[in-house]
Structure 1
Amino acid sequence: MIGKLDLYRVFNVVSRNNSFSKAAEELYMTQSAVSQSILKLEKELEVQLFYRTSKGVVLTNEGKLLNDHVNSALGMINAAESKLLDFKMLKNGELCIGVGDTISRYFLLPYLEDFRFKYPGIRLKILNGTTSDIIAFIKSGAADVGICNLPIYDEHLEIIPCKEIHDIFVCGTKYKKITTKPVRLERLMELPLIFLEKKSNSRMYVERFIRKKGLHVSPAFELGSYDLVMDFAKNNLGISCVIKEFSEEYLNRGILYEVLLEEKIPSRSIGIVSLKMVPLSRAAEKFVGSITKPR
């Protein structure tokens, strides 16, 4: 079949023009080459496809039957090629991104808005979850890329850091007095602490740092929502562990106050995660590039 495809294309053009000479002009071939192609096809199929007349050529009954199917088949091939071109030009397709609610709201939204504006034909599918959920999405093929809190240690994943972030502690007006000078970690552990739930990558990172100092974290509250962590601090329920870059509005407006530590928690990053051995789609490449390039 593959070997006959070019012959079928020639046959289709001849049948549309009812002429070898006009088909030759359209195909940029010699009339002899067109004639030889039709003879070859007739020989392989063992049927006569055209009646030759002084005014041109006319399809035989067998030719008419074949032409109906060839028209349909070539139409499907042309449609497929057109769709492939659209994918290449990012006129359509789908991009699936795994990301948590917090990173979506405080980091990713402007990039999604920009990508959607540039490539409106690409459907964006967002899968929400924790870092471990997002890694599972990527490994199962459910997500093309993930945006996660780092660090992540997995030899099967390609990880590109894209934004530096800082874990800090904040409080409301009730505890404002402790913000006047740096606080020792030992003193901080004596206060009512508010953390994200244990499976959060942010929580695990900060807790590892504290344990390395020989201290134990025993939160008064463990919450599943980053916004609740900030709201609990705002309402004076304790000292919340938050990401500074995601809390700037509250800090700048004086709704929350940073509790300075004598020993700062080392910075970390948000990163783009994908499978090492699986090439990114063109849409995913463009999206990753939009995040990693300087804004």
Structure 2
Amino acid sequence: MEQNLSLYKIFYTVAKTGNISHAAKELYISQPAISKSISKLEDNLKVTLFIRNSRGVHLTEEGQLLYEHVKQAFDSITIGEESIKKITSLGIGQIRIGVSTTLCKYILLPYLKEFVEAYPHIKITIHCQSTFHTIKMLENNQIDIGLIGKPSNEKNITFHPVMEIEDIFVATKQYLKNLELREEHSSESIDDLVQVKGEPYPLKEAEIFKKANLMLLDEENITRVYINEYFNTHQIETNQILEINTMELLIEFAKIGLGVACVIKEFVLEDLISDRITEIPLSTPIGKRAVGFAYSRSTYLSPSMRSFIDYFKINQIASEE
């Protein structure tokens, strides 16, 4: 078939123009070369494709049948070329993004709003799932880019940090007071714990984690892995754990006084300021971690992807200034 492609191009041009000399001019080859190619194609197919006369050539019945199929093929190629030109000139394209529900709400959506306004012709597809699944989809080329917490192994991933986030433990003051009363401690001491910042309270901290209803993201979430490592490193004992699969529910459950929740500080600043929840001081704060856009090193960076990455970098520089 590959050897016949040039023959079909010549056949198509001759059939379209109805004249060998016109086809030769359009293809920038000699008339004898045109005639030789037509003869070769006829020999390959073992049919006569053209009838020659003084005014030019016209298709035989077999030639007309072949022309209809060849014309459809070349029309499809032309449409493909025009589509590519349109994509290039107008910036039309598609980007598949993987992101957790939490990062989508608090980080991706504000960024996407401005990007879509700047590039309205680019189609955006959002796949919401855990960071673990997002990384797997990147590896399997099922998405183009992901917004994730910085992975421990960046061997096959290019990572562009967006911001740092800090994990903290929060609860309502009433819940902490009730917890203290249940353990037959004074409510005054727990007030000191939740109101004073920067003071070490290792004993009370240990009691809170051991006795409280501790609300954490489930094991499918990379944040849970990070918190489990913190507990193991500092030998923190926990007994009552309620697993929840979204950060939004963790925050809401904490606000209604259901327990102590591990949340991302940057996402609950308004609730902390309004005193709906309070941060529990830790003797050893949990280290901050980076969140950013990641894509496979083997991924082809389409014009749409390059626009997305460049737009992010430009806006990040502007925000830092």
Q: Which residue of 2 aligns with 1:247?
A: 268
8 A contact 1:97–1:146 mirrored in 2: yes
Q: Which residue of 2 aligns with 1:188?
A: 205
Instruction: Provide the C-alpha distance between the structure 2 equivalents of 1:171 and 1:250, rounded to a whole number of angstroms.
Output: 11
Q: TM-score, structure 2 length as denominator? A: 0.73
Residue 225 (str. 1) matches residue 246 (str. 2):
yes
8 A contact 2:96–2:126 mirrored in 1: yes
* Residues 40 and 231 of structure 1: CA distance in aligned 2, closer, same or farther (over 3 Å): closer
Instruction: Provide the C-alpha distance between the structure 1 equivalents of 2:299 and 2:73, rounded to a whole number of angstroms.
Output: 32
Matching residue's letter, 1:16: K
Q: TM-score, structure 1 length as denominator? A: 0.79
RMSD between aligned alpha carbons?
Answer: 3.3
Secondary structure of 2:287's counterpart equals: coil
Give, in angstroms, the shift of residue 284 of structure 1.
Answer: 4.2
Instruction: Provide the C-alpha distance between the structure 2 equivalents of 1:267 and 1:125, rounded to a whole number of angstroms.
Output: 26
Give, in angstroms, the shift of residue 83 of structure 1.
Answer: 4.7
Q: How does 1:1-295 map to 2 (within 5 A)?
A: 1-27=1-27, 29=28, 33-46=30-43, 48-83=48-83, 91-93=92-94, 95-117=95-117, 118-120=119-121, 122=123, 124-126=125-127, 128-153=128-153, 155-174=155-174, 177=192, 178-184=194-200, 186=202, 187-191=204-208, 192=212, 194-199=214-219, 200-219=221-240, 221-295=242-316
Give, in angstroms, the shift of residue 268 of structure 1.
Answer: 0.5
* Residues 195 and 289 of structure 1: CA distance in aligned 2, closer, same or farther (over 3 Å): farther
Give, in angstroms, the shift of residue 52 of structure 1.
Answer: 4.0
Instruction: Provide the C-alpha distance between the structure 2 equivalents of 1:256 and 1:63, rounded to a whole number of angstroms.
Output: 80
Q: Any unmatched runs of 5+ in structure 1?
A: none
Secondary structure of 2:142's counterpart equals: coil
Instruction: Provide the C-alpha distance between the structure 2 equivalents of 1:168 and 1:212, rounded to a whole number of angstroms.
Output: 16
Matching residue's letter, 1:272: F
Q: Compare 96-105 and 34-43 and name the one that shifted more.
A: 34-43
Give, in angstroms, the shift of residue 36 of structure 1.
Answer: 2.2
Instruction: Provide the C-alpha distance between the structure 2 equivalents of 1:185 and 1:292, rounded to a whole number of angstroms.
Output: 41
Give, in angstroms, the shift of residue 232 of structure 1.
Answer: 2.7
8 A contact 1:4–1:41 mirrored in 2: no
Identity, in percent, stands at: 28
Q: Which residue of 1 aligns with 2:184?
A: none
* Residues 61 and 203 of structure 1: CA distance in aligned 2, closer, same or farther (over 3 Å): closer
1:218-257 alpha-carbon deviations (Å, 9 max, x no partner): 4554433312222233223444321122222323444333
1:128-149 alpha-carbon deviations (Å, 9 max, x no partner): 3323233333334433333222
Matching residue's letter, 1:91: I
Give, in angstroms, the shift of residue 102 of structure 1.
Answer: 0.9
Secondary structure of 2:207's counterpart equals: coil
Q: Compare 100-109 and 34-43 and name the one that shifted more.
A: 34-43
Give, in angstroms, the shift of residue 190 of structure 1.
Answer: 1.8
Find runs of 4+ consecutive structure 1 residues off by over 6 angstroms.
none
1:4-37 alpha-carbon deviations (Å, 9 max, x no partner): 323322332332222344434544x26xx14522
* Residues 181 and 252 of structure 1: CA distance in aligned 2, closer, same or farther (over 3 Å): closer
Instruction: Provide the C-alpha distance between the structure 2 equivalents of 1:201 and 1:182, rounded to a whole number of angstroms.
Output: 28
8 A contact 1:223–1:229 mirrored in 2: yes
Give, in angstroms, the shift of residue 270 of structure 1.
Answer: 1.4
8 A contact 1:98–1:146 mirrored in 2: yes
Instruction: Provide the C-alpha distance between the structure 1 equivalents of 2:254 and 2:107, rounded to a whole number of angstroms.
Output: 22
* Residues 185 and 39 of structure 1: CA distance in aligned 2, closer, same or farther (over 3 Å): farther
Matching residue's letter, 1:230: I
8 A contact 1:148–1:271 mirrored in 2: yes
Instruction: Provide the C-alpha distance between the structure 2 equivalents of 1:157 and 1:219, rounded to a whole number of angstroms.
Output: 37
Instruction: Provide the C-alpha distance between the structure 1 equivalents of 2:236 and 2:287, rounded to a whole number of angstroms.
Output: 17
Q: Number of residue pairs matched?
A: 290
8 A contact 1:135–1:146 mirrored in 2: yes
Instruction: Provide the C-alpha distance between the structure 1 equivalents of 2:70 and 2:77, rounded to a whole number of angstroms.
Output: 10
Instruction: Provide the C-alpha distance between the structure 1 equivalents of 2:51 and 2:238, rounded to a whole number of angstroms.
Output: 91
Secondary structure of 2:92's counterpart equals: coil
Larger helix share, 1 or 2: 2
